Structure 1
């Protein structure tokens, strides 16, 4: 009874401390301090980035609480701009201010990179939409000195991207999204690092830092999911298949890795294609390929971090568009025969 009482008191004390901390973080940093603090929110800032800026300027006490509070209240519509805030404002007042601000100016350059594209296709897209040339983009993303500098600045980047067998060092890290710039002309480093920052934010927001996989492995898994799945439900289930195969040491044998190994898109993967020796070809190697095989979107990254719990080891995409999952090879072969 004494032990039980101590446990109850400990849990109650922890809950009270947590509640007190959260309510304190939601409230003003200093309700008696009305001194104006000038805060600048850049264009393209996420809730994570905004929270970090507010904490650095001392108008909130915890950027993580800000991010979770914004998500809990489903707040959106924050505007880039200059703000006059005070430490006496609570989170609700700060959020209201951030939603009523004025954008600096209209974007002079806007374009979208679709999910799942190979890096060479991303480069072509950027060159067609901006003042940048394919040649300078290609040279920069392969510049070892520049890549080494990026590794020192971005936690998600690891030395593995410099492996000579990696086809494109930044494959998987160039986040597919809409990009807006206030300038008509941009620098090549500005473009690359904008995309890397988006990827870093998505990984952080989805808890990649606490995964058993490295950032490189997470993006590799996500890229396979992006190449295989047609909707969010499939993403989670296919992620579960990948997890199950990795756990028992079974070759992944995913067709998109074969296409990437060849550097050629196939309408249908043939047996002769799968015999190609490459560190990307999951019919040729066990485990994950040496790196990502495309640039995955947030839904695939989230699926890679949250695989569905099931016993499926196989799946088949039928010509009808339906996908059939199986636990055994016999079930899989019957599905292929039935629905081909």
Structure 2
């Protein structure tokens, strides 16, 4: 019996060594890639300390975002961002919008921001006491609000365009500071401000005092707009509301200048005696009760005052010249107060 020895050829040994080398190199490369991927997740993007504003259009894929950031020199490894998003199941959860990516942002933080939709927000402030034309001007001149409502539209056509057909716009939009993303339309903004006013008015109406001479929330809105225009000092709101409430209850004319002014076309800033005598739907010196619509946008405090007027006997008030008013229960007392205030104002002008 002959034993045969199995001797490997030099060629077979070379193949084995080559495979071993490839395995070692592959393992080393894989280990390096794994560590590089881990470093990528925590390393900041290539940004200045100020960061950048970055806009993602609707329908943009994560691949397109990664490639674009790489083209801009912000992202070194776009493939890694795609892998990270797939690992986190974020690839299809990216929200469109305009983002501010601050300096020091990592890839992980960037994905968190894009998934949460934490976009840049701009603001518009609507001021208590503004009229509708001032509201419209603020909306139309804001560079980040998309204009879809033609300036040629009449007031009636504009209200119809935003879904409020047949409603008068005055006083219907709540004065507040509104935050919104780029791309918000004028229609969306006005609808939001309108809904805010309706919600607040409804909440306040539910908690109103009993036995008020107001039949509807809209009447409360009208009265609140007058209170807003008449009030110089916040602490006087409910007292002014009390005067108007008692006048309505007694059937007295409200005799308030802001309503007269609202009814004057192209008011020049100076109300005259003839203006008080000229009859218009808004002249509360010639017509009893509330005017037909609000005359401005009242804030929540003015709405509250209209629905919670202060008790008392005063039926008149006159501006003192320092932002406040002198309140009187009788016409005789009121006339004395008017004369005194006029003398004081003339004295102040002469000094």
TM-score after normalising by structure 2: 0.58
Matches within 5 A, 1:63-74: none
Q: Per-residue deviation at 1:206?
A: 1.7
In the alignment, which of 193, 206, 214 is matched to residue 204 of structure 2? 206
Q: How many residues align?
A: 223
Give 1:127's aligned residue. 140
CA gap of 1:134–1:259, structure 2 versus 1, over 3 A, is: farther
Give 1:172's aligned residue. 171
Confirm or deny: 8 A CA contact 2:149 2:158 kept in the other structure: no
Give 2:224's aligned residue. 222
Q: Per-residue deviation at 1:139?
A: 2.5
Confirm or deny: 8 A CA contact 1:208 1:305 kept in the other structure: no
In the alignment, which of 272, 275, 285 is matched to residue 273 of structure 1? 275
Give 2:194's aligned residue. 196
Larger deviation, residues 242-251 vs 266-275: 266-275
Confirm or deny: 8 A CA contact 1:225 1:239 kept in the other structure: yes
Give 1:42's aligned residue. none
Q: Per-residue deviation at 1:241?
A: 0.6
Confirm or deny: 8 A CA contact 1:141 1:147 kept in the other structure: no
Confirm or deny: 8 A CA contact 1:137 1:188 kept in the other structure: no
Runs of 5+ consecutive residues of structure 1 not aligned to the other structure: 1-101, 152-158, 162-168
Indicate the RMSD between aligned Cα atoms, in angstroms: 2.6
TM-score after normalising by structure 1: 0.60
CA gap of 1:107–1:309, structure 2 versus 1, over 3 A, is: farther
Instruction: Work out which of the two has the higher radius of gyration on C-alpha atoms and give 1 or 2.
Output: 2
CA gap of 1:123–1:138, structure 2 versus 1, over 3 A, is: farther
CA gap of 1:323–1:148, structure 2 versus 1, over 3 A, is: same
Give 1:52's aligned residue. none
Larger deviation, residues 267-276 vs 290-299: 267-276
Tell me how far apart the structure 2 counterparts of residues 205 and 103 of structure 1 sit (CA, whole Å).
Answer: 31
SS in 2 for 1:139: coil
SS in 2 for 1:304: helix
In the TM superposition, what whole-angstrom CA distance separates every residue of 1:5-56 from its partner, at most 9, and x where no partner exists?
Answer: xxxxxxxxxxxxxxxxxxxxxxxxxxxxxxxxxxxxxxxxxxxxxxxxxxxx
CA gap of 1:237–1:104, structure 2 versus 1, over 3 A, is: farther
Asked whether 1:150 is paired with 2:152, we answer: no
